Amino acid sequence: KENTIQGYVNASVLGGGTANSEFEVFTGCAMGFLPDSYYAYEQALTGPIDTMVSHLKENGYTTYSMHPEKPTNWRRNVVYQYLGFDKRLWKEDFDGAQIIHSGVSDAETFRKVEELYEGRAEGEKMFIFDLTMQNHGYYFKTNVDRTVEAVNADCEEADVYLSLIYETDRAFGELIDYFSAQDEKVIICMFGDHQPKFESESFYEEI
């Protein structure tokens, strides 16, 4: 409450298309100016461009991207270089990590952020982008315990999604506690890349 700014983010996509949310955040370019079913990562980016990442790099930051999935998803293995990331971590960098629902747990990626921070060179300024996978759809087959239930809709998928968010919330709290104990000033920014897509059409009608 003392040092937090919070609010709502309107994501352009539902149930997928993470790359478009990334494109908007890194470039400041709205997908509203591009055609429907258009993916800038696949159709527009053919070389290095000015981004938030490249500007931080020009100002002396080491820039890291972290995504515990295949680097070829949305051509990230190529696009992340265009965006200005110096170092890129993929699924193979999380060998043996805890798996929850759709992938490596958020807690494991947060611990990797801490590990990179602790291994930094003296005086090194860092920007780390952590694109997580734990809570990605679909939500009807999962190994997640139902710890949270929706109170205004009868939807098992919603219960699973909310239970996953609860796990993330706990892990995020631990990440904040870790950096609160450090002497350096650190900005932690979290945003959602897209809304969850539930197969139950009645859910959307109910809410």
Burial of 37 (0-12, 13-18, 19+ CB in 10 A): exposed
What DSSP assignment string belongs to 161-202? HHHHHHHHHHHHHHHHHHHHTSSS--------SSB---S-HH
What pLDDT, on a 0 to 100 scale, did the predictor assign at position 12? Answer: 74
Tokens of 50: 């000015």
Q: What is the per-residue pLDDT across 117-169, written as a single tens digit (0 to 9) for each?
A: 999 999 999 999 999 999 998 898 787 888 999 888 888 999 999 999 999 99
Confidence of residue 196 (pLDDT cuts 50, 70, 90): confident
What pLDDT, on a 0 to 100 scale, did the predictor assign at position 25? Answer: 94
195 phi/psi in degrees, rounded to 5? -75, 155
Peptide bond into 41 cis (omega under 30): no
- For the cut 90, the answer to whether the pLDDT of residue 24 exceeds it is yes
Inter-residue contact 32 to 23 (CB < 8 Å): no
- For the cut 90, the answer to whether the pLDDT of residue 178 exceeds it is yes
Q: What is the per-residue pLDDT across 179-189, written as a single tens digit (0 to 9) for each?
A: 999 999 999 99
Q: CA-CA distance, 192 to 200, in Å (whole number)? A: 21
3-state secondary structure of 130: strand
